[in-house]
Structure 1
Amino acid sequence: MLRVAEGLYRALVPLPLLGRLPAPGDGLWARRLLALGAAAAVAVPVAAGLFRVPPRDDFDLSCFVWLLLGARWLTQRWWPRRDGRLVWRSRVAGRRSVEPGLVAQRSLAGWADLVTETIATAAIAVGLIGTLPEESWWGVPLRPLLAVGAAAWIGRTVHEEVRFTGRLALTASGIRHGRQTYAWTNIDRVNPKRQDGRVDGVRLRQIVRQSLEPEPVVGGRDTAVPEERLVAAIEHFRTRSEMLAVGLPVTAPEPAGG
């Protein structure tokens, strides 16, 4: 069964997008196929709908697109209260393996961003495709290209939501935020990141990093767990990450004075 799944995964995902091919026994093949199926279930009808967009002479979406862009701008400046906690999960799907660990879900603001960004992407694609003439030599190839590109972006968003457990996870192998992972052994210290007078995420001070790369930030507005709880948990497990590998339920420590 694993060989069949691996062959199907190779066929569906181009090798350059895979990077290092996953191991057959890493326990993630069912999750990968589920994520691919969910992405295809969304991307295919989106692409089919975009292929049928009529020329702009027949309709006008400019007002709707501007409204969506305005909604996107407003949601990015919406800061609802976040009081979530890291929750223990015996099976956390990461990039390379399934491990036990602590998980933080996407916040309400994060879901609002995701929905408005997805709808805005589809609406912008509709508006752009509608401006392309159907008979011109340059419009004919651009219409399907835009349709496939927008559908692929939306499908990738769905794929990531299904593929990984939670928005952020702390496991024995490291910290994962979205698709990015950071090893415990390369984290020197952590502190809240401040931007525009607000605390937005936890900055990881790495021992070794590329000189031109910014320091990574995990958590933030799109994560339901507030920064003070993330800082307390990361500092606690930074030097004792093996506690997360035991398999027994672990409770994240509360911040001092919390």
Structure 2
Amino acid sequence: MSGPGPMAAAVPDRDGLWSRRLFALLAGTAVAAVSGRVLLALDPSHLDAARGVVWLVMLGHLAQRYWRPRRTGRLIWRPRVAGPHGAEPGLVARRSAAGWLGLTADVTAGVVVALGGFSVLTERWPQVEAGRPPVLTAVALGLGWVVYAETRFTGRLALTGGGLRYGGDWYPWSEIRGVRRSGERAGGVHLRLEPERLPRTVVGGRDLAVPDERLIAAIEAFRTTPEALAVGLPVTPPEPAPGVAER
């Protein structure tokens, strides 16, 4: 089945683009400022404590990847979905509980490894201590960036008249030629793109509340009729065929 032509693409409304970006920027800046104040107030003994729990944090980070609760979420209609190019009507999928746990584990591991690693360096080379403020500032900015990236868009995944957005990645409908299960342990949907991208493109999976079969049914339905999402009227996404197990 051929994909939609160029005329099928919707033109997003840019009126809400900058207000959403400004809100995300303010949220990220606030988190970075608070984090920076807390981190810069730490003394070397606190950094030594972070070094002592690095292995425990990394073990927890690896263990949480094996938690895969059943996903029963649905794509929800939103009249305004904030995307990379503006606001459009569309369907949104939220991040799952396992996805939030994974994000929290990633951030925690990153912070602890950065602090613990710097503690090791200062113990071996005391002159490195002079670089503590810039390092802690960089960690705070990283936390702010995570908040900015999570706040900038509506939902973890969105289907709009213009295409499919997953996180900060954008895939126009004209490039999506088909979908199938990824076959990976964490689940997910493999997008068959033209031109193909490397590594292969997988969306959804463990970090999305919507099961793969429900996502596949929606993508297959709207990749050839994206104008149905661009009209602005509420849309009910299709369901997978009866008897198809949800994952």
Query: TM-score higher than 0.5 here?
Result: yes
Confirm or deny that 1:228 pairs with 2:201: no
CA positional deviation for 1:199: 6.0
Deviation at 1:25, TM superposition (A): 4.7
Letter of the structure 2 residue corresponding to residue 50 of structure 1: L
For the structure 1 residues 25 and 188, does the alpha-carbon distance in structure 2 shift closer, same or farther, using more than 3 Å as the test?
Answer: closer
Give the aligned CA root-mean-square deviation in angstroms. 2.3
Distance 1:117 1:177 in 2: 18
Q: Which residue of 2 aligns with 1:246?
A: 231
Matched, 1:139 2:123: no
Structure 2 counterpart of 1:193 = 182
1:149 maps to 2:135: no
Match of 1:217 in 2: 202
Q: Secondary structure at the match of 1:200?
A: coil
Q: Give the Cα separation in 2 of the matches to 1:80 and 1:50.
A: 34
Q: Tell me the distance in 2 between the aligned counterparts of 1:98 and 1:25.
A: 6
Find the counterpart in structure 2 of residue 44 from structure 1.
33
Aligned partner of 1:14 in structure 2 is: none
Gaps of 5+ in 2: 1-11
- How far the C-alpha of 1:24 sits from its partner, in A, is 11
TM-score normalised by L of structure 2 = 0.86
Q: Secondary structure at the match of 1:217?
A: strand
Q: Shift in Å at residue 217 of structure 1? A: 1.0
Number of equivalences: 231
Q: How does 1:60-99 map to 2 (within 5 A)?
A: 60-99=49-88
Which piece of structure 1 moves more, 89-98 or 198-207? 198-207
Assess, with a 3 A threshold, how the Cα gap between structure 1 residues 98 and 136 changes in structure 2: closer, same or farther.
Answer: same
CA contact (8 A) 1:104 1:223 kept: yes
Contact 1:76 1:113 in 2 (8 A): yes
Partner letter of residue 31 of structure 1? R
In structure 2, relative to structure 1, the CA distance for the partners of 1:173 and 1:58 (3 Å cut) is: closer
- Larger RCO, structure (CA 8 Å, separation 6 or more): 2
Q: Which ranges of structure 1 fall in alignment gaps of 5 or more residues?
A: 1-22
Q: Aligned residue for 2:43?
A: 54
Distance 1:25 1:203 in 2: 30
Distance 1:247 1:115 in 2: 35
Deviation at 1:114, TM superposition (A): 1.2
Separation of aligned partners in 2, 1:48 and 1:132? 22
